[in-house]
A and B are shown apart, each in its own frame.
Chain A
Amino acid sequence: MTTMTQEQAVPAARRIHLARQTLVFALLLALFAVAFTVSLCVGRFSVPAGRALELLWQAISDPSRELAGIDERIVILVRAPRVVLAALAGAGLAISGAGLQGVFRNPLVSPDILGISQGAAFGGALAIMLGIWGFPLIAMVFLCGMAAVILVGLLSRINGRSETVTVILSGLVISSMFAAVVSLLQFIADPNTSLPAIVYWLMGSFATATWERTLVAAPGLILGSCFLWMLRFRLNILSLEEAEARSLGANTTRERWLVFCLIAVIVGSQVAVSGIIGWIGIVIPHAARLLVGHDHRALLPAAAVLGAGFMVCIDTLARTATAAEIPLGVITALVGAPIFAALLRHHYRERKGS
């Protein structure tokens, strides 16, 4: 009898868990859809919400249609790529954060730890100093971000292996070095032109989003995230203790570096088109973990949807609150830091309780 009850109880608990997760995902997706739609309808240029949706529908149903009116161009060429790019970047940053926190078994880790952001920042600042704009700038940012990860890899590799601690320390070293060079570039930049541009770029913004830029960043963001999702089982194993992971047959060093490279692709693509955006990669995975738990199979998609929605909301605020564009980094920090503090307190109170 007892065995029977246990057998029935396990699927019942699982069913409740699944139902809860389905509900959470449905809610997250609904919230994202609302944020996405509202974001397309609001902006500094007044386009009635109904008209904005109508224009969007027309553009989807007849993509070859010529965009004549200014309201049409603003909704289709300015807002839509911006919202899509913000959503992709938010999803990418959140999923990267979740992946890294798993690999490092440390909830305080964010994608910045590998030096990608600072490396990419160096590329961007240098490009702005040299008067390079557009795609060459994007390419430079991306390459410098990747170079930073490669340097971290080389530096942390001792006797053919790289331990978690050496990776974190190497990331810190490379990050600091690039940060120093960025400071140097700021020091010698022209205070009338390149300096404000560099400072603004370092604070992050989707203001320059176009479909071309979105298409440039999308492959890295989408493919990187998808590959990370494919590694969800591996991430579950990597988030175990080193010895335990090895006993399960994982080549931890190789797999960890695979994750790092994917994250470099995601973050490099994001920084290249929108500058450095902090906090998303650290706050969102925490929030997602509270909603769906630690299992990367659920955590990664939840973080992605939540990150996308959050980023879209933040960007909408940045571009509509005042006539001046508020840099994203300012809002993500202002909103992200208190949320993070609240989540941390909640997390530790729960742990203490359990």
Chain B
Amino acid sequence: MVPLSLLISTASRRRAAAALAAMLFAPAAFAEEIVFKDQGNREVRLAKAAERVVSIVIPMASTVIALDGGTRKLVGMNPTAKSAVVEGILGKIFPEAKDIPSDVTAPNFVPNVEALTAANPDLVIQWGDRGADIVAPITNAGLTTMLILYGTEELTREYMTMASKAIGKPERIGELVEWRDRVQKEIEAKATAIPDDKKPNVLYLGRALSDISASGTKGSYNAWSIELAGGKNASAELNGTVSVNKEQIAQWNPDVIFLNAFEAKLNVDWVYSDPILSLTNAAKSKRVYKMPLGGYRWDPPNQESPLSWMWTANLLHPEIFQYDLRAEMKTAYRTLYNYDLTDGDIDNILWLKDQGAAAGYAQFAAK
């Protein structure tokens, strides 16, 4: 007869082993699951780090590449994001990015659910502030969706952090946010000391070629970054982003004009050859600049924003800010894309060929 004590002991040993196994493996299993609240205030639950990501949102495609340090995880993007990849340097750094499908959505963010499902994504990134109609088809297809909001630096950091967590690279975001924070605080510290009358009036034109659009200060990331770098938004009186005429620009008479990087055919000559705009302070003092196009366009918030702020600050207040932008770009690109920028790359990103003669632009030329 088997002693009772032995039976008990075996049973308890089994229990102990099971408990031990649970203690050992369960946390690992739980650790795999990723849960967070997105900017649409919804709970996003991923069984494990997303391996296949689709970004319907335009700038997030390049951000996902930067967070992952490669293109492996991005399996679909907006056609407009792809045009930035093709036109900009990302297509050179990651030639395979040109083959990532862009049929998952129309440019207007309406998803093509069948193409989207065919891409078999673990995570789909979509706008959270443009109505439920562009979200419901994705969630109805049973896909995990992360909603993000556009506009401010805080929101940008938040959604970048969420994305890095979702793709299982939480360690990547630390240094990127720290970089953003450091550069922002550095610029802020110096810019707050600038008296108001020394702050130039800066006009950012979101569109120029068919009609001209400018933005009020509220809700405009461009106005925010202009003010961050010690400038005043020349079109502050506007409500939202709207069309304006040249007469109105003459009335504002900006000291500096920034042209968007979205319109491929737009360059500074557009201002200099215009009978009215060429008489603004900005044109007379040669302070007209087209925003650079790097890993993404530098106008909206993205992974390269600190470079954009440095570029702006150096141009608005060259006596106060002297960032070595070329060196900063090289460091940033190594961190973001594990790529060593050549001098030619930097010249192209900053449009040195077209606007090298602009006031203060010589500082960006290769030494």
Contacts and interface: CB of A to CB of B under 8 A. Distances in A.
B107 A44 contact: no
Contact of B247 (A67, A79, A128, A195): A79
B276 A208 contact: no
Given A190-B107, A192-B58, A197-B207, A74 B247 contact: yes
A44 B276 contact: no
A197 B243 CA distance: 10
B246 interface: yes
A327 B239 CA distance: 15
A45 interface: yes
Interface string A167-183: 00000000000000000
B248 A45 contact: yes
Q: How large is the interface on B (under 10, 10 to 19, 20 to 34, 35 or more residues)?
A: 35 or more
Contact of A44 (B239, B248, B260, B279): B248
Contacts of A70: 250, 276, 279
The listed residue with most B CB atoms (<10 A of its CB), out of A70, A79, A195, is A70
B210 A197 contact: yes
Interface stretch (B262-270, B319-327, B330-338): B262-270
Contact of A188 (B83, B106, B211): B106
Contacts of A133: 209-210, 265
B275 A325 contact: no
Contacts of A189: 107-108
Nearest to A193: B262
A46 interface: yes
A130 B330 CA distance: 34
Interface in B183-210: 207, 209-210
Contact of A323 (B80, B207, B238): B238
B83 A323 contact: no
B249 to A, nearest CB: 9
Contacts of B275: 67, 73, 77
22 contacts: A44-B248, A44-B250, A45-B250, A45-B251, A70-B276, A73-B276, A78-B245, A133-B210, A133-B265, A187-B106, A188-B79, A189-B108, A193-B262, A193-B263, A197-B207, A205-B211, A207-B212, A207-B246, A208-B210, A208-B211, A323-B238, A325-B248
Interface of A: 43-46, 67, 70, 73-74, 77-79, 128, 131, 133, 187-193, 195-198, 200-201, 205, 207-208, 319, 323-325, 327
